[in-house]
Structure 1
Amino acid sequence: MKYFAGLDVSLEETAICVVEESGRIVNEMRAASEPEALIKALRKVGLPLERLGLEACSLTAWLHDGLRAEGLPAICIETCQANAAMKTMPNKTDRNDARALAQIMRTGWYRQVHVKSRQCRLWRALLVARRTVLNEMRSIENIVRAMLCETGVKLGTPSRTAFADRVRELAGTEVMAMVEPLLAILSVMLKEFARLTKQVLHIVRKEEVCRRLMSAPGVG
C-alpha cells in the first residue's frame, strides 16, 4: 500500500493530511510550521510515504530542506496548479487545502518546482537587501530635490557622495530644517550600502561563474 501526504503551510501552523493510494484519508493532524515539528508528526503516523507535497510559499524552501535532510520525500509544487485543485473543495480551509494537496500527490497531477540551494537563497537575500537600500536612497534624494525645487533651487546632478554637501551649499535656512534629517538618514544608508556592496564583490571575486559572466560584453 502506498501513502501520500499534503501539507498546507501557514506562518504558525501546518495542516497535514495523509491518504492511501485509493484516495481514502488515513490521518489528519496539525503541527507547528517548523521542520522538527513536522518530522515528528509525520514519523508518528508510522506509514511509508511515497510523496509529500508542499505548496510554494515563503517557508517552503526552509521546510523542504529540513524534511529532505531526514529522508522524507518532500516535493514543492507550483502555486497556480495547487490553487486550481484547491478550488474543487467546497470550503476554503487549511484542512481542505491539505486534503487537496494530498490528492494531488496521489494522482501525480502536479508540476514540481525547483528549490534553490540555501547558499543561493542567501546570495539572493543579500542582493535584495542591497537593492532595497539603493531604492530607498533614490527615493529620499528625489524627495529632497522636490523640496528644494519648491524654493527655486535646482540641485543639478551631483554624485551620490557629494549630494549632501551640495544640498547644504544651495538650500536656505528654512528648508534645511526639514532637509537635514533626511540627509542624516542618507549618510547612514550610504555607509550601509557600501558595506553590502563590499559583501557582493567579495562573493563575486571567489565565484568562477560570476567572473566569467563579468567578462561578457554588455554584462560585466
Structure 2
Amino acid sequence: MGVGVQTSAAFAAAVDEAGRFRQSRNAGAYFGLVPRRHQSGELDWTGRITKQGDGTVRKLLYEAANSILTRSRETFALKTWAMKIAKRRGLKKARVALARRLAVIMHAMLRDGTLFQAYEIE
C-alpha cells in the first residue's frame, strides 16, 4: 500500500537529478503541493494548492497518500501524523499534506540512495 513502482518511477523521472533541489522540502513545492499565497500590505491570503509542476506525479502522490490513509491497516508514524491532521482539518487536506511529505521523503531517499523504513508504533 502507498508508494509503488509506478509512483516511484514517475517521481524519479520527473525529478531527474536529485541535486537540483538544495533542500528536500522544495520537492513538494515543485509538484504544486503547497498552498498558494498572496501577500500585499495588510492582506495575507492562503489559498488552495498551486498545482504547478507535473500533474501526473502529483496525482500519483495523492493516490499513494489516499492508499496509506484509507487502505493500510498497519500503524506507523507517517500514517499517525496524517490522521492527526485529518481529525483537525479534514481528510482531503490530510491527503495533500501526506502527499507533500511523501515527495519530501522520496527526494531525500533519491538523493541519499536509501530505502524507506516504516517503524511500527507500539
TM-score under structure 2 length normalisation: 0.33
Greater Rg by CA: 1
TM-score under structure 1 length normalisation: 0.21
Which protein is richer in strand relative to its size?
A: 1
